[in-house]
Structure 1
Amino acid sequence: MNGLRIASFLLAASSAAGAVELPGPVVTAAWVNEHRADLVVLDVRSDLAGFVTAPEYTTDAKTGAKVLVSGGGHIADARLVDFNLTRVSRMVGDKKIDKMLPSGDEVQALMRKLGVGQDDALVITSPGESADEVDMAARLYWTLKSYGETDMAVLDGGNAAWLAANLPVSTTAAADIAAGDWTAAELNKAWLAEIDDVKPAGTAPLLIDARPAPQYLGVYYKKPAVAAPGHVEGALNYPTDLQTRQTGLAQMFMSAPQYAKVMTAVGIAPKAGAITYCNTGHMAAGAWFVLSEIMKIDGVRLYDGSMHEWTTLGRPVVGVGL
């Protein structure tokens, strides 16, 4: 599969001189609107009904302006991606571990069913109203990057930012589409951490727990996905609510210097080779995206199994001991 991707990339480079060039891993609603005809938009979400639900507005009593109160709908012609189909269950010994990275064949089949072509420039969006939704986009980005995709970006603020820019949305159901020819490369493990890569007790590499502080501390934990409260010994907490900054309904990314200040404030000095984790590799994808793609820290990896695998397999945790 790797050879096919390289060959297609070379062909595209030589023949598609007019193709759109993504400005970076994050794009704005205005940029997407300007280049919409040259992009394939992947709308990833777990709330599939929201794809065809109209947004809700109210009128400001003082100004008479229309104010968005609830998002809904999608960017016209976006391909609907069920987030639940982007992760799979796998047996590790005699234990079933859920929500793991699919195989290349599985990702390839999903992308082709969505009509994605080998040379398409991709923009990944989500409803964008919570860090949880933004992290779905980040997780899909990480998955596709791991299988060789390079021509993609995440829409800053997702559909909420699109609506805030007064851009139109559709509520038409996702249509059947001709199969694409997107081809997965061999899995690149440069951004993937596995259980034996995770070293407790503060030894290298740096571990970053991307869950809310109460889960990190063990005040409560996400049963049944996680089997014990607390965190991997030595991990530092980068809480989920510090991944984005709310603007209206939209959860927006910050700049690399702003993230550096946030990291310093919570006692984290990012370094190459850091590993992010959470409960199931969902929230950790957002932390990975911030560190790897926005801050450009080399070799940042996402521990796919996260606390679900770690605690299911009986690895030790520490916490406040409530």
Structure 2
Amino acid sequence: MRKVLLLMVTALSLFAVEPVVTGAWLKGHLNDKDVVVVDVTKKESYDSGHIPTAMQSGIELWRQGVDKHAEVRSIEALQAEMRRLGINNDTRVVVYSHHLNNKDMLRATYVIWAMAYAGHPNTALLDGGIYAYKAAGGALTTKTEANRKGNFTADKNAKMIATMAEVKASLHKVPMVDSRPAVFYFGAQKQPVLKRPGHISGAKSFFWRYNVTNENRIKPTAELSEMIEKGLGLKKNDPLIIYCTGGLEASMNYFVYHRLLGFEKAKLYDGSMKEWGNRDDTPMTRYRWE
């Protein structure tokens, strides 16, 4: 029996991909049959040069507009896109961006979140994006990959997402984290896309860029834990709701909190402030650190 369990653990360890992989790791696994690489940059950037075998999948294929905000697409749409990318239920997926601007890498963490929401958690972020792969000696290509035929079957994980109604019911009961720059959280500056300045009442502030270095590499887990668990006083076993302006910034915090630090009960409020802050019936706080 012990031998059987050992074999099972070994098999699982070989199957699962680490949450964060290096450029060198990806370079060495590009031709693995069970690895699919997904490039989430814009098509023009993909066409100008991308990692060999990578499939292009823009963020618009994962999100759709709803009133003044955006939300993750339907499970059926996510399943169809993942099949087009060649993903099966046992596929290891590596997602990366080109780091074209300050927020480009957030497209990668959002797609990773969306895949897990659709029932496929065996995903990884390429740390440092396309530049990390190039730094490891990896060559780029301009060859466009044809659509594939994966057989992934989606299974929605509703525990990963928080609705506006749930956020309202959780005020001052469940810890919340605002992933935007502190100036917006504090309300010293109002975002043009929002009707009201400030933050969801009771929420703490943790700007998503605190997770990464100036070179856009994920900081060491010990440092992240020091900031998040000790600094914010958050506990891994407690429920947690993470939000931002429109879902992308929160996806980076969710990735770090859930995948790297083990906050299993974390949820992403996808509508975030574009939904909450553009209404008159949602409690908000300004000029206060909480």
Structure-2-length-normalised TM-score: 0.86
Q: Distance in 2 between matches of 1:184 and 1:283?
A: 25
Deviations 1:130-189 (Å, cap 9, x if unpaired)?
Answer: 5522221111111111111032211111112112222111133x332233222211x212
Do the aligned partners of residues 163 and 129 (structure 1) sit closer, same or farther apart at CA in structure 2, a change above 3 Å counting? farther
Q: Does structure 2 conserve the Cα–Cα contact (< 8 Å) formed by 1:129 and 1:160?
A: no
Secondary structure of 2:277 counterpart: helix
Q: Does structure 1 conserve the Cα–Cα contact (< 8 Å) formed by 2:54 and 2:145?
A: no
Secondary structure of 1:302 counterpart: strand
Of Structure 1 and Structure 2, the greater helix share is in: 2
Secondary structure of 2:200 counterpart: coil
Q: Which amino acid aligns with 1:256?
A: T
2:269 pairs with 1:303: yes
Q: Distance in 1 between matches of 2:183 and 2:204?
A: 13
Gaps of 5+ in 1: 1-12, 54-72, 91-95
2:233 pairs with 1:269: yes
Structure 1 residues 43-122: aligned runs within 5 Å = 43-45=39-41, 47-53=42-48, 73-90=49-66, 96-122=67-93
2:20 pairs with 1:26: yes
Task: Provide the aligned length of Structure 1 versus Structure 2.
Answer: 275
CA RMSD of aligned residues (A): 2.5
Q: CA deviation at 1:203?
A: 1.4
What residue in structure 1 maps to residue 160 of structure 2? 191
Q: CA deviation at 1:18?
A: 11
Do the aligned partners of residues 28 and 18 (structure 1) sit closer, same or farther apart at CA in structure 2, a change above 3 Å counting? same
What residue in structure 2 maps to residue 37 of structure 1? 31
Q: Distance in 2 between matches of 1:121 and 1:293?
A: 15
What residue in structure 2 maps to residue 4 of structure 1? none
What residue in structure 1 maps to residue 286 of structure 2? 319
Q: Does structure 1 conserve the Cα–Cα contact (< 8 Å) formed by 2:17 and 2:123?
A: no
Q: Distance in 1 between matches of 2:62 and 2:110?
A: 9
Secondary structure of 1:184 counterpart: coil
Q: Distance in 2 between matches of 1:295 and 1:19?
A: 18
Where in structure 1 do 4 or more consecutive aligned residues deviate above 4 Å? 17-20, 199-202
Q: Which amino acid aligns with 2:39?
A: D
Q: Does structure 1 conserve the Cα–Cα contact (< 8 Å) formed by 2:36 and 2:86?
A: no
2:135 pairs with 1:168: no
Secondary structure of 1:175 counterpart: coil
Q: CA deviation at 1:257?
A: 1.2
Do the aligned partners of residues 136 and 36 (structure 1) sit closer, same or farther apart at CA in structure 2, a change above 3 Å counting? same
Q: CA deviation at 1:23?
A: 4.1
Q: Distance in 1 between matches of 2:13 and 2:263?
A: 28
Secondary structure of 2:36 counterpart: strand
Percent of aligned pairs sharing the same letter: 28
Q: CA deviation at 1:198?
A: 1.7
Q: Which amino acid aligns with 2:263?
A: I
Q: Does structure 2 conserve the Cα–Cα contact (< 8 Å) formed by 1:131 and 1:241?
A: no
Q: Does structure 2 conserve the Cα–Cα contact (< 8 Å) formed by 1:255 and 1:294?
A: no
Q: Which amino acid aligns with 1:33?
A: K
Q: Distance in 1 between matches of 2:57 and 2:14?
A: 23
Q: Which amino acid aligns with 2:175?
A: L
What residue in structure 2 maps to residue 138 of structure 1? 109
